Amino acid sequence: MDNASGLRKWIRRILIALAVLAVVGLIVVAWIPNPVEVEVAEVGRGALVVTVNEDGRTRVKDRYTVSAPVTGNLARPDLEAGDSIEQEQVLARLVPLPPPLLDSRTRAEAKARVDAAMAARRQAQAAVNRARFQRDFAKQESQRAQAVVEQGGLARSDADRAVSTYRSSEEELRSAEFGGRVAEHQLKLAQTALMQLSGQGEEGEQLEIISPVAGQVLKVFQESEGVVQSGTPILELGDPAALEIVVDVLSQDATRIPPGAPALIERWGGKNPLRGHVRIVEPSAFTKLSALGVEEQRVNVIIDMDDERELWRNLGDGYRVEARISVWEDEDVLRVPASAVFRSEDSWATFVVEDGTAVIRTVELGETNGLETEVLSGLEEGEMVIAYPSDSVRDGVSVKAR
């Protein structure tokens, strides 16, 4: 009987001890913090492209304003904006008014305009010759680069730059030839004005204003007949096939954009982006108010199209586009999500996941495009970092991936 009673006492004591241990265990477990759920990303290698992204607008590269060479009665122009024109096509007709009595000063001014037009024509012809030489040289370099690429002695990107330079030189030659035709036309107008002012033209003779170039009518300034003064704009002409894109960027971004930098044109109305390259970064900045009312110094960047005209033939003058200009790229860099790095005192840092624990680590960063960041030191390929560390993530905290 005593043995049975003693056994019951021991069992009761064991049960009480187990209950106490269970309660203590529950208390301990309750005080142990749960691992913080985090989103992790693997440190890896790959390509990284850094771009400057801004809105832009299209612009006809070569445009020419047709003006009245002399004072006279202008007949109503038959052309409207958007009409196609051919070189040497009659644009407008003008009946000069009887010339006033000229003094020596007025006659000298008219003669000086003729001399200036002749000088401009010589300069334009020199520009054409120079552009043609540069085009021929760029063509040879492009062909040479393509041949070396096929032999494996040159990177494809270098050959692409040579091709881009050749295409730019073709556009420059086209612009120079446009300028040459305009200069020739200006000389003829100046000579006609001098003849009319000198009284050499027949009274009542109708003067035909001829187009110096082929293209389209961009604007009509004089839509009705009437008397116009010498120099009054009548029409604006241009070639819509020679479009360029004007993108104004922040001046600090402009310093990173080299001539020839590749660009992608997006949101222009087509399904696929268009390819282009930077022809020039203008040397002068201007002040512009941002959407927040802050004054910014901005610089115009001019982009030429690289794709064939058939792909963007529906683009016109003054259309809005978005441009992504490449300022830095590398095919093989160590990279992490830009959201994984943050400032810690005077350096950059990230949280690395080691055995379920968040460990803060200082890193040295290179280039970034806002989505991914180049890591120069501090991380190894294959390590896991916390992509979006919240305030709950601290050094030494237990974490688990979502």
Mean pLDDT over 348-368 rounds to 92
- Specify the pLDDT at position 32: 60
Mean pLDDT over 106-117 rounds to 75
**5 domain residue, yes or no:** no
Which two three-digit tokens encode residue 29? Answer: 């477990």
Nearest residue to 51 (alpha-carbon basis) of 326, 337, 302, 374: 326
Exposed e or buried b for every residue in 34-63, given b needs 16+ CB within 10 A? Answer: eebebebbebeeeebebbbebebebbbbbb
Q: Of 329, 358, 392, which marks where a domain is finished?
A: 329
Mean pLDDT over 299-326 rounds to 92
How does residue 372 score in pLDDT terms, banded at 50, 70 and 90? very high
On the question of pLDDT at 322 being above 60, the answer is: yes
For residues 345 and 324, membership in a common domain is answered with: no
Identify the CATH number of the domain in which residue 259 sits. 2.40.30.170
Helix residue spans in 264-393 (DSSP H): none
For residues 212 and 254, membership in a common domain is answered with: no
For residues 249 and 234, membership in a common domain is answered with: no
C-alpha–C-alpha distance, residues 240 and 401, integer Å: 56
Please tell me which residue, 357 or 105, carries the higher pLDDT value: 357
Nearest residue to 303 (alpha-carbon basis) of 327, 330, 324: 324
For residues 310 and 386, membership in a common domain is answered with: no
Mean pLDDT over 242-256 rounds to 94
Quote the DSSP letter at residue 83: -
How does residue 391 score in pLDDT terms, banded at 50, 70 and 90? confident
How does residue 321 score in pLDDT terms, banded at 50, 70 and 90? very high
C-alpha–C-alpha distance, residues 212 and 121, integer Å: 13
How does residue 160 score in pLDDT terms, banded at 50, 70 and 90? confident
Nearest residue to 63 (alpha-carbon basis) of 238, 262, 258: 238
On the question of pLDDT at 89 being above 80, the answer is: yes
For residues 88 and 201, membership in a common domain is answered with: yes
- Specify the pLDDT at position 49: 92
How does residue 131 score in pLDDT terms, banded at 50, 70 and 90? confident
**28 domain residue, yes or no:** no
**364 domain residue, yes or no:** yes
pLDDT digits (tens, 9 = 90+) for 35-74: 888 899 999 999 999 999 999 999 998 888 888 887 888 8
- Specify the pLDDT at position 4: 63
- Specify the pLDDT at position 6: 65
How does residue 26 score in pLDDT terms, banded at 50, 70 and 90? low
How does residue 203 score in pLDDT terms, banded at 50, 70 and 90? low
**Pick from 4-18, 168-182, 317-331: least confident:** 4-18
Average pLDDT over all residues of the chain: 84
**18 domain residue, yes or no:** no
**9 domain residue, yes or no:** no
**Pick from 169-183, 212-226, 239-253, 320-334: least confident:** 169-183
**88 domain residue, yes or no:** yes
For residues 84 and 191, membership in a common domain is answered with: yes
Q: Could you give the number of structural domains in the chain?
A: 3
Q: Of 238, 259, 293, which marks where a domain is finished?
A: 238
Domain enclosing residue 216, as ranges: 68-238
Mean pLDDT over 129-148 rounds to 84
On the question of pLDDT at 381 being above 70, the answer is: yes
pTM of the model: 0.69
DSSP of 288-305: EE-TTS-EEEEEEEEEEE
Please tell me which residue, 120 or 330, carries the higher pLDDT value: 330
For residues 234 and 356, membership in a common domain is answered with: no
For residues 250 and 310, membership in a common domain is answered with: yes
Task: Give the rounded percent of residues in the chain with a pLDDT score beyond 90.
Answer: 31
For residues 101 and 200, membership in a common domain is answered with: yes
How does residue 15 score in pLDDT terms, banded at 50, 70 and 90? confident
* Lateral strand order in the sheet of 215-220: 63-67, 233-238, 215-220, 84-85
For residues 111 and 245, membership in a common domain is answered with: no
Mean pLDDT over 196-222 rounds to 76
DSSP 3-state of 66: strand
Please tell me which residue, 163 or 342, carries the higher pLDDT value: 342
On the question of pLDDT at 308 being above 90, the answer is: no
Q: Of 193, 210, 238, which marks where a domain is finished?
A: 238
**3 domain residue, yes or no:** no
For residues 262 and 345, membership in a common domain is answered with: no
**169 domain residue, yes or no:** yes
For residues 228 and 292, membership in a common domain is answered with: no
Identify the CATH number of the domain in which residue 377 sits. 2.40.420.20
Burial class (CB in 10 A: 0-12, 13-18, 19+), 84: exposed
